[in-house]
Structures are given as C-alpha cells and as structure tokens.
Amino acid sequence: MVSENEEQTPQQKADEHVERHGVLLRRSRRKVSRSHEQQKSCESQHRAERQQGNQPEEKVGKSINSQGTHKDLKGTTGQHRILPGERKKSCTECGKNFRRRADLINHERIHTGERPYECSQCGKTFTQSSALTRHQRIHTGDRPYECCECGKNFSDRSTLIQHQRIHTGERPYKCSECGKSFTDSSALIQHQRIHTGERPYKCCECGKNFTQRSTLITHQRLHTGERPYECCECQKNFSNCSALIYHQRIHTGERPYECCECGKTFTDSSTLVTHQRIHTGERPYECHECGKSFTASSTLVTHQRIHTGERPYECCECGKSFTQRSTLITHQRIHIGERPYICYECGKSFTDTSTLITHQRIHSGERPYECSECGKSFTQSSALITHQRIHSGERPYECSECGKSFTRSSALLYHQRIHKR
C-alpha cells in the first residue's frame, strides 16, 4: 500500500480495490494466471456465473470510483479475454471466429438460411431483430436520423453517416486494384467483384449470376412480375425501392446531386459520378473483347451484348428484342401510344426522358459536350463520341460482307443494304 499523498499507479489502485473485495481478489488472480489448469477452472466459473446472470468483471469496473481505474482494470481483464482458447467461438462451417456468441449465432444464419424475424406488414424475413426494426420504418415512415447539413432524414444511423460523406467528400474505402474510393465498405466489396469477376448470386429461374443479392432479388421480379413499390402520385409501380425514389423526383423536381465542375444537377448520385467522368476523362470499364472503355459498368454490360449477340428483353407485342430493358420500355410506348415526357416550352411530348432533355437544348441553346480537339460542342454525348472519331480515325463498325468500316452504326446499316439488293 502507498500513502494517500503518494501517487498510485493504475495497477496499485486496482490491487487496493481488489483487496477490499476478497471474493473478487481470488477471481482476479485466477484470471491473470497463465496455468492451463487454472485457466480452465476460470472458464468454468465464468460460464456458471453467466448462467446465473452475474457479470463479475462488469461489477469490478462499476464499483471503482477513482478516475481512470475502470479503464485500467478493464485493460487488465482484457488481457485475459485474448488468452488462447477464450474467444474462439468458431463457425463450424467456415471457421470464422467471433468474440461474442450472439455474433456467431447471427453469422451461422448465413449458412443455415434461417431468418427468424418476420415483418408483420409484408412478410419479409431477417436474420437479426435490428434489421427488422430498420425495415419496419419503411412501413411506418419513421426516419429519426436527420442530416444537420441539408435536413434530410433517414431510417437508420448508418445510412445517415454514409449520406454525410456527400457533404464532407470523405470516401474512406479504397480499392487496392484501381485506387477508386467509396463512401461505404459494401460499395467497395461490390466494386471489387468487377476485378475478380465474382458473381455469387445466381437466379434459379434462368441461371444468370449477379454481384449483389439486392440485384438478384430485383432481377427475379422479371420472372414473377412483382412490382411492389407504388408511386402515390401516379400509381406507377416499380420492382425496387430506389427506382421509385428516383421516379418520384420527376414529380417533386428534386435533383439533389450537383456537379461541382459545371453545376449540372442529377436525381441520383450514381448518375452524377458517371457524369463527372466527362470532365475527368475517366473511363474505368474496359471491354476485354475490343478494348473499348466506358464511364459506367452498365454501359459496358450493354456494349458486351454486341459481341455476344444477347438481346434479353423481348417485346410481348411484336417479338422484337433489345439489349436494354429501358429500350424495351421506350419501344413498348409505340404500341400503347404513351408519350409521358412533355416539353413545357412547346408542348411536344416524348417516349423517354433522355429525348426530352436533348430536345429542350434546342430551346436553351445548351451544348454541354465539347470536343477537346477542336472545341466543337454538341447537345448529346453520343454525337460528341461519333465526332471524335474524325480526329482519332476510329471506325468501329465493320461490314462482315466486304470489310468496309464506319464511324456510326447507322452508316453501317445503310451500307449493308447494298449487299441485300
């Protein structure tokens, strides 16, 4: 023991406290012992205490009033926690270790497929009660987490933290392959599958594989016809929640994502990221067949269908098939006569929003796509790409009959009529 005027070390404080608690002293000595027999005895006692609802370590920490002692004693007992054999709560399927049994139980549900927590509103099931609680906020409309920057509300704290990175510019998760960084770890994991080629989620209907479980679920709705998300403004239904959110911005006019280079605004963050590559010149997605690169992974996937000949989206009216679902939807409006996108300047209507946007540039005079070689500007990015082939000499569309090549696919189609005469 040291005098009251003399400064005590954290360990001395802990020892002094333990002396005043005889039972706890014996327990503490057992904890720090390196003897295998004593360790096993300690583990047995801990198990018995947990079954009785006691938390001996916690009581030690709570009963200490001296400043700093709680942390120091936790540090001492923490050494015990990492002794070999103590925290090895291992998954029998994959060998992964966990500190807490509750975490192991939650993890094992990945292997067993058990989802014991069911939503009483829609029947959706979850592996954890916390995930069910977050999900139920979709039905209740409860969004308790507010962004102090823009006032936007969120149903869970993690989504708020991720959102706040839009304001701070923080992207803490970096890909070791290409250096691209992300606002959340799940986005990085999904991105890395571009490099590895991993597509772990398989559709049992058609055998198609996906990089994300959520994408598989959305895809499966093509087979089931399920469109559970309805717009309260126009009653249009969607197969996924994000598509509904983007759609609703047509009604609200909200375009929350702004390009810091040119001030252009967008309804979703992914479109902004893709747009910003116009300014940076970044084209990270390369076709392994022809070497052509793209600003968006979806554009690469669509492009690759030129090589494979795949046209998975078929019109039930006329049997015509398409490489993109959006092209099919636009095409189907020919049959039903729907032209939902109206120009407020002249009243002209269009089957798709991109054609409306391009048309509106006639009125505004906007030509946002400029050639870096000659300064000529265009209303559409596709027109700029075609124009740039004059400078590069690229002629990617080749006639299989005579080998003649063209800068535009339309020019190739026109040429091929010569052979059909």
**Per-residue model confidence (pLDDT) at position 318:** 95
**Per-residue model confidence (pLDDT) at position 365:** 92
Tell which wins on pLDDT, 55 or 193. 193
Q: How confident is the model at residue 363 (pLDDT cuts 50, 70, 90)?
A: very high
Q: Write the secondary structure of 237-283 as one string of H (helix), E (strand) and C (coil).
A: EECCHHHHHHHHHHHHCCCCEECCCCCCEECCHHHHHHHHHHHHCCC
Q: How confident is the model at residue 214 (pLDDT cuts 50, 70, 90)?
A: confident
Could you give the CA distance from residue 366 to residue 285 in angstroms, rounded to a whole number?
A: 28
Tell which wins on pLDDT, 328 or 38. 328
**Per-residue model confidence (pLDDT) at position 408:** 87
**pLDDT of 391 over the 90 cut:** yes
Query: Which range of residues forms the domain containing residue 121?
Result: 101-140
Residue where the block lists tokens 């005027």? 5
Asked if the structure places residue 71 within a domain, the reply is no
Please state, rounded to an integer, the average pLDDT across all residues of the chain: 79
**Per-residue model confidence (pLDDT) at position 40:** 43
The 10s digit of each residue's pLDDT in 299-353 is 899 999 989 989 999 999 999 999 888 889 889 998 999 888 899 999 999 988 8
Mean pLDDT of 122-146: 88
Asked if the structure places residue 340 within a domain, the reply is no
**Per-residue model confidence (pLDDT) at position 159:** 87
**Per-residue model confidence (pLDDT) at position 155:** 86
**pLDDT of 69 over the 90 cut:** no
pTM here is 0.37
Asked if the structure places residue 131 within a domain, the reply is yes
Mean pLDDT of 280-284: 91
Pick from 157, 124, 126: nearest CA to 143: 157
Contact status, residue 221 vs residue 212, Cβ threshold 8 Å: no
**pLDDT of 18 over the 50 cut:** no
Q: Which DSSP string corresponds to 107-164? A: HHHHHH----EE-TTT--EESSHHHHHHHHHHHH----EE-TTT--EESSHHHHHHHH
Asked if the structure places residue 125 within a domain, the reply is yes
Q: Which DSSP string corresponds to 2-47? A: --TTSPPPHHHHHHHHHHT-HHHHHHHHHHH---HHHHHHHHHHHH
Which of 18-32, 209-223, 271-285, 344-358 comes out lowest in average pLDDT?
18-32
DSSP 352: S
Number of alpha helices (DSSP H) and beta strands (DSSP E) in the chain: 17, 24
Asked if the structure places residue 134 within a domain, the reply is yes
The 10s digit of each residue's pLDDT in 42-55 is 444 443 444 444 44
The 10s digit of each residue's pLDDT in 231-249 is 988 888 888 888 888 888 8
Contact status, residue 365 vs residue 378, Cβ threshold 8 Å: no
Asked if the structure places residue 253 within a domain, the reply is no
Mean pLDDT of 262-267: 90
Strands (E), 47-120: 89-90, 97-98, 117-118
Could you give the CA distance from residue 254 to residue 249 in angstroms, rounded to a whole number?
A: 5
Tell which wins on pLDDT, 263 or 73. 263
Element (H, E) at 90: strand 89-90
**Per-residue model confidence (pLDDT) at position 93:** 85
User: Considering its fold, how many domains does the chain have in total?
Assistant: 1
**Per-residue model confidence (pLDDT) at position 389:** 92
Mean pLDDT of 7-28: 42
The 10s digit of each residue's pLDDT in 135-192 is 888 888 888 999 998 999 988 888 899 899 889 989 999 999 898 999 888 889 889 9
**Per-residue model confidence (pLDDT) at position 351:** 87
CATH number of 125's domain: 3.30.160.60
**Per-residue model confidence (pLDDT) at position 21:** 40
Asked if the structure places residue 389 within a domain, the reply is no
Mean pLDDT of 10-28: 42
Asked if the structure places residue 116 within a domain, the reply is yes
Angle formed by the axes of helices 10-19 and 69-81, to 10°?
Answer: 90
**Per-residue model confidence (pLDDT) at position 88:** 58
Tell which wins on pLDDT, 286 or 14. 286
**pLDDT of 98 over the 60 cut:** yes
